[in-house]
Structure 1
């Protein structure tokens, strides 16, 4: 298997590990963060995802590996379907198809520079400083914005931090391969840790008050974009066919963004086929126990509650839709 095949395979395994870790973390939260087995499962899956991701960076360009990270949302599609007992609808498959098509375009056009992805001390400092400034400016602007925009900005800052942490991780691995462990730069390793922690904290803050869909899409898009730009600048990564290739990559990025936004919304809603859910709720008489069938779904109502709702037509403010 060639380097590209290894990068793709490891990245897909990493994305699957992250998706499984998300499910484990959700179940952990449902049980009040109690249970050693649940903690162990969540931490093990997350650590496996990180390790596989770092290994993938050894065999592929930053642009390819980071873009393949969006497959976490794709793997979350069947997990969500099993979790909420709904079928995967046509719209979800369209979003998945757009994401895969965009990734295929980027993989077909990305070209490694052919030289080791080494990062000099000055380059490492400049990249770290530029990243810190970007994260501080974007994160600071978030506190003066509304709830939804604040979530998007915080998630965007988190995506930048994660993306550059991956770029620096690739440089660390390249140093080890070229000159051994003694060649590792303590400064770059420190910045990897800082950006990873900052990205995690900003990501957690972004989920407060604005739902899950918007920040999930923002971090999924800004992470590979920031990493790809840094890869071109510091590692001399290129794309085939010059300016025409860059134009195609830009189109592919838009296609991926479109698909990622759709997948993020469906993952956040916990549903892959809203039409199927609506039909199931309207067809309550055709089920032996519709309340039991929908007991695990968000917003589910018992038969008695439905009867009461028809008996009292007065509007209930709590049933009005809330923005994502």
Structure 2
């Protein structure tokens, strides 16, 4: 088996592991709304950590076997695996809009994958690594502040946290590829700062992804994360590793179009969740007043004054869950 084929196979296995971890994370988020980041006392959360860790190990090996621009976009298949797996194992069925959004985002990323060409791997300079780490940290903090400002809109807050998580995971993969390139050239000890950045970004990505599932379902945050992750990594691969788009200017224009298609898929996923939230907020309308302003007599009882909101037997209804802001908590 060639190194390229092995990297594809490992990437697919990694996507399945990540999908399983995301499903468990979403279930933990539903059952522990008061602990958005790290519900350490829940065994299920640790199972999600193990699944994500397995996905990460397979991803690292795939990066060692293949180019960054190939391995990262294949991670977008996580959402394609997650939706049917969630329906099969936990009965979490996605709506038609979510499926359309997931397929649209995946098609956009597949086009982006086909247009990015690999080149001879080269290690970024120390200044490039420092700049990438600082820009990523600043972006993640800005997204967390934006999520805090939109805490009244769980779907928007979730997408912002998922973008931050995807950026952290994407840059973690970039630094992983950097370390792999250095080690292939015999450089080991000089990569201790890069290994530290990998650990910090991977941990931040895990915690932010857990928070993004709270009150937002599975499809929207997971699709956002799986799209942002390869886009960030592909951009870094072009700027830091010398990877380029195929077919020159035309290929670059097509790549931009594919990115727009992928973004449109995310908009569909987000809009479905926002529509669900708005439907949950629609108040029950008051009844129309009967003629004469009095209720009709029933079973020999005297007529009563009209009450637009009559009291009746208590019927259990599904009330929208109240959530705390993960950034404030």
Same fold per superposition (TM over 0.5): yes
Contact 1:103 1:256 in 2 (8 A): yes
Work out the CA distance in 1 between the residues paired with 2:139 and 2:267.
23
Indicate yes or no: 2:10 matched with 1:10. Answer: yes
Contact 1:106 1:252 in 2 (8 A): yes
| Shift >6 Å, 4+ stretches | 26-36, 86-93, 263-267, 312-317
Structure 2 gap ranges (5+): 33-38, 274-311, 323-329
1:1-324 to 2 correspondences below 5 Å: 1-23=1-23, 42-83=48-89, 94-95=100-101, 97-114=103-120, 116-148=121-153, 149-179=156-186, 182-259=188-265, 318=318
Work out the CA distance in 2 between the residues paired with 1:161 and 1:98.
23
Contact 1:165 1:195 in 2 (8 A): yes
- Determine helix, strand or coil for the equivalent of 1:179: coil
* More displaced 10-residue stretch of structure 1: 219-228 or 90-99: 90-99
How far did 1:42 drift? 4.3
Work out the CA distance in 1 between the residues paired with 2:49 and 2:169.
18
How far did 1:239 drift? 0.9
Q: CA distance change for structure 1 residues 69 and 260 in 2, over 3 Å: closer, same or farther?
A: farther
Q: CA distance change for structure 1 residues 203 and 170 in 2, over 3 Å: closer, same or farther?
A: same
Q: CA distance change for structure 1 residues 242 and 99 in 2, over 3 Å: closer, same or farther?
A: same
Structure 1 gap ranges (5+): 268-311
How far did 1:192 drift? 0.8
TM-score norm. by structure 1 comes to 0.70
Q: CA distance change for structure 1 residues 183 and 118 in 2, over 3 Å: closer, same or farther?
A: farther
Contact 2:147 2:158 in 1 (8 A): yes
How far did 1:109 drift? 1.6
Work out the CA distance in 1 between the residues paired with 2:264 and 2:239.
26
Counterpart for residue 279 of structure 2: none
Counterpart for residue 278 of structure 1: none
Contact 1:109 1:245 in 2 (8 A): yes
Work out the CA distance in 2 between the residues paired with 1:110 and 1:104.
10
Contact 1:61 1:110 in 2 (8 A): no
Q: Deviations over 1:132-183 (max 9, x none)?
A: 1222222223322343333332222222111111100100111111115x35
TM-score norm. by structure 2 comes to 0.69
Q: Which has the higher helix share?
A: 1
- Greater C-alpha radius of gyration: 2
Work out the CA distance in 1 between the residues paired with 2:148 and 2:94.
37
Work out the CA distance in 2 between the residues paired with 1:89 and 1:212.
11
How far did 1:120 drift? 2.2
- Determine helix, strand or coil for the equivalent of 1:6: helix
Q: Deviations over 1:243-295 (max 9, x none)?
A: 2111211222233344466678999xxxxxxxxxxxxxxxxxxxxxxxxxxxx
Q: CA distance change for structure 1 residues 42 and 152 in 2, over 3 Å: closer, same or farther?
A: closer
Q: CA distance change for structure 1 residues 48 and 263 in 2, over 3 Å: closer, same or farther?
A: farther
Contact 1:14 1:52 in 2 (8 A): yes
Work out the CA distance in 1 between the residues paired with 2:97 and 2:317.
30
Work out the CA distance in 2 between the residues paired with 1:321 and 1:29.
12
Cα-Cα RMSD: 4.0
Work out the CA distance in 2 between the residues paired with 1:35 and 1:208.
15
